[in-house]
Amino acid sequence: MVEHMANHIFRTVLMYFLVFGVMRIMGKREIGELSIFDLVISVMIAEIAVFALEDIDRPIYDGIVPMLTLLLIQIAIAMLSLRFRKVRLWFDGEPSVIIRNGQINRKEMRRQRYNLDDLLMQLRSQKIDSVADVEFAVLETSGQLSVIPKEKSEGGGTHPKKKEAKLSAKIKYEALPLPLIMDGKVYDENLRQIGKTRFWLKNEIQTKGLSDFKQVFFCSIDHNGKLYINAMDEK
């Protein structure tokens, strides 16, 4: 009896530290920010730990080996996602524009099975009481709603800037900000969406002291037409 209880305690303590270690290695993201892939891995790890604790007659490695296998899969996919954007999009999906310039995208809401009650609740949580006050609302892959409100004028009304409106008319926002360069690779399709060329982009990065696209780790443009440029780390 004592030996049986001691075995239970040992397994429980071992599984606790093992699951804790695995989750720490997977990364420091809140539960609400987990991608679908990370969430599936987390649920499977939890289930494996439960099976290992419930059936004390099974060898402990029947739980440890599958758990470590899932950890290796998660690390491998994470490394590939860092290197290849297509892998990131395949596993994590793309953000969806729900509101653009105060207009609700009903087609995208139906595609995402996202109802008006959910939309209004998330807008209220960000202290926005009217859809008309929203420039962009993007449903992230984690299920959270990112909201960019319209800029307010001195008289209390709302209006987008002319530069912003001109750029917004050209861009079909699939993600905000819109990436132009990632990991030294130029996204020509995104350049075409904003009516720009590689020549224009080259001039822009040269103003930051960068002579080649491969020197840029990340470059994006926001809804105001403002560029963000981050250079590669020097090796």
Q: How far apart are CA 33 and CA 169, in angstroms?
A: 30
C-alpha distance from residue 93 to each of 48, 137, 205 (Å): 27, 17, 29
pLDDT computed for residue 34 by the predictor: 64
**10-residue mean pLDDT series, the chain (235 residues):** 74 84 69 68 85 79 86 84 76 80 85 85 85 84 81 51 47 61 85 86 90 88 81 69
pLDDT computed for residue 29 by the predictor: 56
| Closest residue by Cα to residue 168 from 102, 217, 100, 91 | 100
Give the pair of three-digit tokens for residue 142.
Answer: 């984690």
The alpha carbon of residue 200 and the mean position of all alpha carbons in its chain are separated, in whole angstroms, by 28
Strand locations in the chain (E): 96-100, 103-104, 134-139, 145-149, 178-182, 185-186, 216-221, 227-231
Q: How far apart are CA 161 and CA 67, in angstroms?
A: 52
pLDDT computed for residue 173 by the predictor: 45
pLDDT computed for residue 160 by the predictor: 46
pLDDT computed for residue 105 by the predictor: 86
